[in-house]
Amino acid sequence: MHVSVDSGLCIGCDLCARLCPLTFSMDGKKAEVRDPLGHAREDVSKVADKCPTGAIRVSHAEWTKHLR
Ligand code: SF4
């Protein structure tokens, strides 16, 4: 699983770091990915859906590996 935060979209609301603190942390006023595997994929996907600006991207790399 690959997780990224678009720092241009992030408004630093802290929601992701509060809900999944093992995966996200705050670097000043922006979120950053601490450990993509820190929380279960379902939990990280839920946080991505809740992000108010859609700044979090989650891709399921294990699926694309099988498509190559
Ligand atoms: S939930 Fe979205 S906007 Fe809020 S800190 Fe996390 S990435 Fe940034």
User: Given this model, what pLDDT does residue 67 score?
Assistant: 55
Nearest ligand 1 atom to the CA of 24 is 6
Q: Domain of residue 16: give its range.
A: 2-67
pLDDT digits (tens, 9 = 90+) for 41-59: 999 999 999 999 999 999 9
User: Given this model, what pLDDT does residue 1 score?
Assistant: 86
Which residue's CA is the closest to the ligand 1 atom numbered 4?
13
The CATH number of whichever domain residue 14 belongs to comes to: 3.30.70.20
Q: How many domains does the chain have?
A: 1
Residue 66 structure tokens: 């099988």
Tell which phi-psi region holds residue 4, choosing left (phi > 0), alpha (psi between -120 and 50) or beta.
Answer: beta
Which residue's CA is the closest to the ligand 1 atom numbered 8?
10
Q: What is the biggest distance separating any 2 CA atoms in the chain, rounded to whole angstroms? A: 38
Distance 65 CA to ligand 1 centre (A): 28
CA distances from 39 to 8, 35, 66, 68 (A): 24, 8, 23, 27
